[in-house]
Amino acid sequence: MSSGVTQRELQDINTEFSRLNLLLEICLLSHDVKSLALKLDEPSSKLMTAVQEGLSSGKRIIDEKLEKLMNNIATIRCVLTVG
């Protein structure tokens, strides 16, 4: 058995860090919305729900899906700063 880390393991570690970063971002966004007493519009609320469901599904999240979920959070933040 090799004592080194395989390419697949490195990819899995990177994906897990991305997932944790996304989880942190959604927590920070939720905190900002609550602490500033902001009201999300319907599309932003649906995006936020989609991100939360994606993270809580318990299923493996591929990198492309993580990227999409992170873009959803960025979109919500843009709406909040413009609104």
Q: Are residues 55 and 24 in contact, defined by beta-carbon separation less than 8 angstroms?
A: no
Mean per-residue pLDDT of the chain: 88
- Which pLDDT score is estimated for 79? 84
Roughly what angle, to the nearest 10 degrees, separates helices 7-35 and 42-56?
A: 140
- Which pLDDT score is estimated for 35? 93
Rounded CA-CA distance 44/61 in Å is: 21
2 in any annotated domain? no
12 in any annotated domain? yes
39 in any annotated domain? yes
- Which pLDDT score is estimated for 5? 87
Residues 6+ apart with CB under 8 A from 45: none
Q: What are phi and psi of 61, to 5 degrees?
A: -105, 125
64 in any annotated domain? yes
Decide: pTM greater than 0.95: no
Res 77 pLDDT > 70: yes
1 in any annotated domain? no
State the total domains in the chain: 1
Pair of tokens at residue 47: 């995006």
- How large is the average pLDDT for residues 32-44? 90
Range of the domain at 56: 7-82
